[in-house]
Structure 1
């Protein structure tokens, strides 16, 4: 859904005439858009750097297309590449869930909690792959 602009961020809803708070639920500083959420937001970019070590060496922040491209550009073997692709997909999902939890459920997970949820989901899926 993210790649097809299917996530209902504040900017997408505004185009449809639905007005909602447009400030990012994580950094509370910028307007919520898909590109801000993935990965212009400092809060989310910090999570990405913990999951993708090579992002610590970047001069500019990647967008979500570049993150997926960079996984292929790293020259990983197929198993490692697939793990990172799974991590990227899980990150998109759990960041969106954390965003919705903040907006609609008053549940505020820390960066460490979001990272732990991502890692747990990836581990469970990877263990199923081995079987």
Structure 2
């Protein structure tokens, strides 16, 4: 256990000295055995082994009251279709724009189990029984598409020039090919035929 090997020190930073004090108290109580565990601080000073980005953000940011003019400069509508509220499921991939991107990249790859529903996609990524290279391709396309769409979404939010669905599809396709090429150079046999399978779905 880490407590057994720990030597108390003085630090210039107050929070580190506070941690040293907590460790010292635990050693005084004789709590020196057992497995170390990582705990994340949650709201109301609760601690959990599960990480929550929402709780973490609320703990590290300084909250301020909402300004009267906030609604005048911010909108929760989807930047792509302008017709629906922006939620995770809508952005990935229920929106008519992002679904078009996702469908072009994965409809043949996931056949006959294609879906644009977030929960169903996640379930397939974890539990689907496919050959290694096909499952890897779907996972990598998923990750790359998420990143590319999120970047496009942020660029549009900040007034950057919008890319068309075809341009986004081409960008993801290029990233997939580049990744497969780099893996081929390494000679990993598990990815043998990956480029051919990807080409067959385009």
Pairwise TM-score range, normalised by the shorter structure? 0.7 to 0.9
Matched residue, 1:123: 177
Tell me the distance in 2 between the aligned counterparts of 1:105 and 1:35: 24
Q: 2:122 aligns with which of 68, 72, 75?
A: 68
Aligned length: 118
Match of 2:144 in 1: 90
Specify which of 89, 106, 110 is matched with residue 164 of structure 2. 110
Classify 1:70/1:17 alpha carbon distance in 2 versus 1 (closer, same or farther; 3 Å).
farther
2:88 to 17, 24, 34: 34
Aligned-partner Cα distance in 2 for 1:76–1:59: 13
**Deviation at residue 74 of structure 1 after TM alignment:** 5.5
Distance 2:136 2:114 in 1: 25
Moved more, 46-55 or 21-30: 46-55
Work out the CA distance in 2 between the residues paired with 1:71 and 1:34.
17
Tell me by how many angstroms 1:70 deviates: 2.7
- Structure 2 unaligned residues grouped into runs of 5+: 1-51, 55-64, 187-202
| Number of the residue aligned with 2:103 | 49
The residue matched to 1:52 in structure 2 has which SS?
Answer: helix
Extract structure 1 runs of 4+ deviating beyond 2 A: 16-20, 54-61, 68-76
| Unpaired stretches in structure 1, ≥5 consecutive residues | 7-15
TM-score normalised per structure 2: 0.50
Partner of 1:11: none
Structure with the greater alpha carbon radius of gyration: 2
User: Aligned pair in 2 of structure 1 residues 88, 17: CA closer, same or farther (>3 Å)?
Assistant: farther
How far did residue 31 of structure 1 move? Answer: 0.9
Tell whether the 8 Å contact from 1:25 to 1:99 is kept in structure 2 after alignment: yes
Q: Rate the CA distance shift 1:107–1:78 in 2: closer, same or farther, 3 A.
A: same
Shift of 1:95: 0.3
Relative to 1, partners in 2 of residues 1:21 and 1:126: Cα closer, same or farther, differing over 3 Å? same
Give deviations 1:53-80, integer Å, cap 9, x for gaps.
15787797411x3213335665431012
